[in-house]
Amino acid sequence: MDLEFLSPIDDVVKMFVELGFNTKRHPGYYECRRRERNGRFDALLKDINPRTVYCDLHWDATMHFLFMGVDYRTRPRALYENELKPKLSERSIEHQIVGGLSWFERRNRAVVQGLRIRGFSQ
């Protein structure tokens, strides 16, 4: 699931930490992970501009390879609806789902390869 947040990246990272994610800073992006039974949630966060953050949120099964064992729709949607959306509302952070509900639609490659992603203001 691809999301965009109208917020500085530091605020988004703090929110994921409050939700139980471990965060790790990489050159150009943050990786947030939360282990669960039979797998983990991954969220990759990247600044699009100083006020917009792109997020690739997905579930990886314990054993996964590329799109097999990876869920971009059901579990990420449940996490979004039950945990993330209330936190975003609590913090008054505007957000939108911008796609990525399957492996073939996702924009994750852009995060890792450093390609430009078009956001709210573009």
pLDDT in tens, 31-59: 999 998 889 999 999 998 888 999 989 88
Residue type, position 53, single letter:
V
What is the model's pLDDT at position 107? Answer: 55
**Chain centroid to CA 44:** 5
Name the average pLDDT for the chain.
82
CATH number of 2-113: 3.30.310
For the chain, domain boundaries:
2-113
Whole-angstrom distance, CA of residue 18 vs CA of residue 103? 27
- pLDDT band with cut points at 50, 70 and 90 for residue 115: very low
How much is the average pLDDT of 103-118?
51
Q: Which range is least confidently modeled, 5-19, 32-46, 104-118?
A: 104-118
Q: How far is CA 7 from CA 40, 41, 72, 95, in A?
A: 25, 21, 23, 9
- 46 exposed, middle or buried (CB, 10 Å; 0-12, 13-18, 19+)? buried
Is the Cβ–Cβ distance between 72 and 58 less than 8 Å?
A: yes
Is the Cβ–Cβ distance between 42 and 26 less than 8 Å?
A: no
Whole-angstrom distance, CA of residue 40 vs CA of residue 61? 7
The residue ranking higher by pLDDT, 28 or 16, is 16
Which DSSP letter does residue 84 get? I
